[in-house]
Amino acid sequence: MMDVNQFKDHEQVVYLNDKKTGLKAFIAIHDTSLGPAAGGCRMWKYDNEVDALNDVLRLSRGMSHKNAVAGLKLGGGKAVIIGDSRTEKSEELFRAFGRMINDLKGKYISAEDVGISVEDMEIVAEETRFVAGLNKGEHASGDPSPFTATGVFLGIRAAVKHKLNRDSLDGLTVAVQGVGHVGYYLCKQLHQAGARLIVSDINQEALDRVATEFGAEIVGLDEIISVEADVFSPCALGAIINDDSIDLIKAPIIAGAANNQLARDDHGQALMDRGILYAPDYVINAGGIINVAAETRGAYDQGWVNTKVEKIYDNLMTIFERSLAENMPTNIIADALAAEIINKARKA
């Protein structure tokens, strides 16, 4: 079912249909008050086009908020390609996607996301210059996943400090749902910090890797959300916090890389009512877009990136403290903070 409220405040939504290549995609531009809309492209086998549209609208709104709170001169946008990323990719498809991005004349800047690799984006970049997160080119910065993982790791530290009053992660148990690019790098940092890992993923090879390298315990896809842990870290797809799952969560902290973790905004209140601290997803997972944003500034400066990523810790502590002081869910506090920044830019 289409949620008409998802269109709220969106500036533009484009449907792409290239009959020659079979490309079917949406690009959603939520807000450009702070700058051109930036956000990755994901490729997913949606059940239907309405599901894809719902997803791109939620994701683009989240990107506006993410970029605002991260202090970037970028608006929010997102793209989704409908298809199986394992079997339906082609050079012609990505070239068609690049030409359609180019038609927007810089209003939207794309990068890789779920199901899309740096190599895929490099094909897109042969048709348009409005692409970031590349391995080659004058300002290329490569895979942003390690920076996303670092931001999530810092966010977990902030949440542990606020909720458990601990500066160290040594001896704590973290349940990581999804050990792809971001999840792997996150597990590496958590392991180095002395945390015990419990993991799940649909990819057995990825699971075996973190089990071998970091001593992670593997559990089933349906088990990960209800395991005994100090932190639950969703790093797969969104809407994992929903009516069915909230009562199953045993961890006192939710802090992960996945976008749109709350199926509905009111689930933030439900978590608060249960005494669970939620790190708003678009605040904690901003490391990747910060790295991508560095490419849009001109010469790539990793020092600038590191400074911005490190600020994720402070941003979350501010949100946690405001949530406590105002007795409001952290996701609502984060949305209010993002709106303040965007509205100020819009007026200017």
Domain at 145-286+315-333: CATH code: 3.40.50.720
Reduced to 3 states, what is the DSSP secondary structure of residue 83? coil
| CB-neighbour burial class of residue 26 (10 A; exposed 0-12, middle 13-18, buried 19+) | buried
pLDDT of residue 206: 96
Residues tagged active-site: 78
pLDDT of residue 1: 53
Residue with tokens 């959603």: 28
Task: Kindly report, residue by residue over 94-109, the tens digit of the pLDDT.
Answer: 999 999 999 999 999 9
- The C-alpha angle with vertex 197 and arms to 164 and 273, in degrees rounded to 5, equals 40
Task: Kindly report, residue by residue over 117-147, the tens digit of the pLDDT.
Answer: 889 999 999 999 999 888 776 656 777 889 9
pLDDT of residue 108: 97
Take residue 277 and report the two structure tokens written for it: 């601290």
Per-residue pLDDT at 280 exceeds 90: yes
Cα–Cα separations (whole angstroms), residue 104 to 24, 109, 254, 342 = 17, 9, 37, 22
Per-residue pLDDT at 4 exceeds 60: no
Indicate the pairing of strand 108-109 with strand 75-82: unpaired
Residue 170: CB atoms within 10 A of its CB come to 10
Per-residue pLDDT at 164 exceeds 80: yes
Task: Write down the domain spans for the chain.
Answer: 4-124, 145-286+315-333
Whether this model's pTM surpasses 0.85: yes
CB 172 within 8 A of CB 196: yes
pLDDT of residue 5: 60
Q: What is the distance between the alpha carbons of residues 144 and 332, in angstroms, rounded to a whole number?
A: 27
Cα–Cα separations (whole angstroms), residue 175 to 190, 197, 313 = 11, 6, 20
pLDDT of residue 298: 72
Q: How far is CA 126 from the centre of its chain?
A: 25
Q: What is the distance between the alpha carbons of residues 268 and 279, in angstroms, rounded to a whole number?
A: 10
Q: What is the distance between the alpha carbons of residues 331 and 335, in angstroms, rounded to a whole number?
A: 6
Take residue 262 and report the two structure tokens written for it: 């709350």
Per-residue pLDDT at 3 exceeds 60: no
- Which of the four pLDDT bands, split at 50, 70 and 90, describes residue 210? very high
Task: Kindly report, residue by residue over 65-87, the tens digit of the pLDDT.
Answer: 999 999 999 999 999 999 999 89
Per-residue pLDDT at 166 exceeds 90: yes
The residue among 344, 342, 321 whose CA lies nearest residue 333 is 321
Q: How far is CA 143 from the centre of its chain?
A: 14
Take residue 239 and report the two structure tokens written for it: 């809407």
Mean pLDDT, the chain, integer = 93
Residue 78 zone, left/alpha/beta (φ > 0; ψ -120 to 50; rest): beta
Per-residue pLDDT at 263 exceeds 70: yes
Selected from 3.40.50.10860, 2.60.40.150, 3.40.50.920, 2.40.30.10, the CATH number assigned to the domain covering 4-124 reads: 3.40.50.10860
Q: What is the distance between the alpha carbons of residues 35 and 120, in angstroms, rounded to a whole number?
A: 25
Radius of gyration (C-alpha) of the chain in whole angstroms: 19
Terminal CA-CA length for the chain: 37
Give the rounded percent of residues in the chain with a pLDDT score beyond 70: 96
Q: What is the distance between the alpha carbons of residues 154 and 146, in angstroms, rounded to a whole number?
A: 12
| Rounded mean pLDDT, 322-341 | 96
Give the rounded percent of residues in the chain with a pLDDT score beyond 90: 83
